[in-house]
């Protein structure tokens, strides 16, 4: 892979990496920009080996990256001095390499279909509704990937899963998820329920079922978690099939949403596996 030396940070070929610190500060989903950027050796290698299309790579002069041998010749790899990288991105940058890729469009939930009736696989989807903190979404995506939850539904007000911070916190697992976009609850959730999905809303309400006693059935589960400060709005909860809560001691009234999502996803997947095993016996 031939390197293209560049000395000046104002070179127009470096536009995807310019002033990253101030780009997309609100972080909400806005897929008008087709490109996204990842930072550092690990995430760059993960992007190179993913099924996302590469756009370009910037590497600091003197740095090496074994994965460059896997980069197609059609993808430019720019080599620039350390000082020029700092001026380019707008902050002190010490990771040595950045890469830009072409984001995949979000799918419509109308594209969600039930698995084959004889499938032994547990199917759990995570719906992130109004998740406004990038670290929380990144943590949720990393946990979801670890538990085999690969389908993610993004509701209104949720930050962009392709943002640099989400990519960094998720350790690039955002590259392996399939994202669906959900704009409004009533019709969309009822459509999912009508097609055979079980939509489960997480809540702090004491009258909701404890996740410890909640029992799955043969339906795939859509687990909804809500905004860090306010949780799921009532209208989302009312559109769900079930409402569940995590039982907590009186000294604790709530959990961080990423922690709560991890507990709920783990419990749902374990309960569903037990149910599947009994169904097969």
Rounded Cα distance, 266 and 262, in Å: 6
- Is 89 found in the same domain as 16? yes
Question: Do residue 75 and residue 120 come from a single domain?
Answer: no
Q: What's the whole-model pTM score?
A: 0.90
Report whether 114 contacts 39 (CB < 8 A).
Answer: no
Residues 13, 73 within the same domain: yes
Of 53, 85, 102, the residue at which a domain comes to its end is 102
Looking at per-residue pLDDT, the higher value among 25 and 177 belongs to 177
Q: Is the model's pLDDT at 119 over the cut of 70?
A: no
200 and 254 inside one domain: yes
Look over the chain and give the mean of its residue pLDDT values, rounded to a whole number: 89
75 pLDDT higher than 90: yes
The pLDDT value recorded for residue 22 is 72
Q: Are 95 and 139 in contact (CB under 8 A)?
A: no
Location of structure tokens 């560049």: 6
Alpha-carbon gap, residue 266 to 148, rounded angstroms? 10
Residue 84 has pLDDT above 60, yes or no: yes
Q: How many domains does the chain have?
A: 2
In terms of Cα–Cα distance, which of 32, 249, 266, 225 is closest to 136?
225
First to last CA, the chain: 54
Q: What CATH number corresponds to the domain at position 14?
A: 3.30.1330.30
> Do 133 and 191 belong to one domain?
yes
pLDDT of residue 178: 96
Residue 115 pLDDT > 90: no
114 and 98 in one domain? no
**CA–CA dist 41, 67 (Å, integer):** 9
pLDDT at 30 over 70: no
**E strand or H helix at 144, and its extent?**
helix 134-146
- Per cent of the chain over pLDDT 70 is 91
pLDDT of 200-253, one tens digit each?
999 999 999 999 999 888 899 999 999 999 999 999 999 999 999 999 987 787
> Angle at which helices 257-280 and 134-146 pack, to 10 degrees?
20
Question: Looking at residue 122, what is its pLDDT?
Answer: 67
Rounded to whole angstroms, the Cα distance separating 18 from 90 reads 7
Residues 251 and 264 in one domain: yes
Q: What is the mean pLDDT of residues 127-136?
A: 96
CATH number of 149's domain:
3.40.1280.10
pLDDT value at position 25?
A: 47
Query: Which residue, of 102, 135, 168, is where some domain finishes?
Result: 102
β-bridge pairing 107-108 and 97-102: unpaired
Look up the domain containing 55 and give its range: 4-102
Determine the pLDDT at residue 247. 93
- Tell whether the model's pLDDT for residue 27 goes beyond 60: no
CA nearest to 213, candidates 189, 239, 234, 244: 244
Same domain (yes/no): 189, 94: no
The answer on 262 and 124 residing in a single domain is yes
Report the SS3 class of residue 195: coil
Q: Are residues 144 and 93 in the same domain?
A: no
Q: Are residues 225 and 88 in the same domain?
A: no
Is-contact 98 17, C-beta < 8 A?
yes
pLDDT over threshold 70, residue 117: no
Measuring CA to CA, which residue among 159, 155, 171, 139 is closest to residue 50? Answer: 171
Q: Is residue 59 domain-shared with residue 133, that is, in the same domain?
A: no
d(CA 195, CA 229): 31
pLDDT greater than 50 at residue 72: yes
pLDDT, position 32: 47
DSSP code for 232: S
Write the pLDDT tens digit of every residue in 148-186.
999 999 999 999 999 999 999 999 999 999 999 987 777
| Residues 242, 245: Cα–Cα separation, whole Å | 10
Closest CA to 93 of 107, 82, 105: 82
pLDDT value of position 224 = 97
Q: Which of 102, 122, 154 is the last residue of a domain?
A: 102
């Amino acid at each position: 892979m031939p390197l293209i030396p560049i000395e000046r940070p104002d070179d127009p070929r470096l536009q995807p990496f310019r002033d990253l610190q101030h780009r997309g500060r609100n972080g909400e989903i806005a897929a008008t920009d087709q490109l996204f950027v990842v930072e550092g050796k690990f995430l760059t290698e993960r992007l190179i080996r993913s099924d996302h299309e590469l756009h370009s790579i910037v590497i600091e002069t003197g740095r090496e990256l074994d994965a460059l041998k896997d980069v197609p010749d059609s993808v430019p790899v720019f080599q620039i001095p350390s000082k020029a990288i700092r001026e380019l991105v707008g902050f002190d940058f010490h990771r040595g390499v950045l890469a830009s890729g072409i984001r995949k469009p979000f799918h419509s939930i109308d594209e969600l279909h039930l698995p084959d009736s004889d499938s032994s696989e547990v199917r759990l989807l995570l719906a992130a509704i109004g998740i406004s903190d990038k670290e929380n979404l990144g943590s949720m995506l990393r946990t979801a990937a670890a538990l085999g939850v690969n389908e993610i539904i993004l509701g209104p007000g949720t930050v962009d899963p392709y943002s640099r911070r989400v990519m960094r916190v998720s350790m690039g697992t955002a590259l392996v998820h399939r994202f669906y976009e959900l704009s409004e609850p009533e019709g969309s959730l009822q459509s999912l329920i009508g097609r055979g999905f079980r939509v489960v809303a997480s809540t702090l309400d004491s009258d909701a079922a404890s996740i410890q006693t909640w029992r799955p059935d043969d339906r795939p589960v859509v687990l909804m978690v809500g905004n860090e400060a306010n949780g799921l709005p009532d209208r989302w909860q009312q559109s769900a099939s079930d409402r569940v809560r995590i039982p907590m001691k009186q000294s604790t009234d709530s959990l961080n949403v990423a922690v709560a999502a991890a507990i709920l996803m783990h419990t749902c997947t374990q309960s569903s596996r037990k149910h599947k095993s009994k169904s097969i016996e």
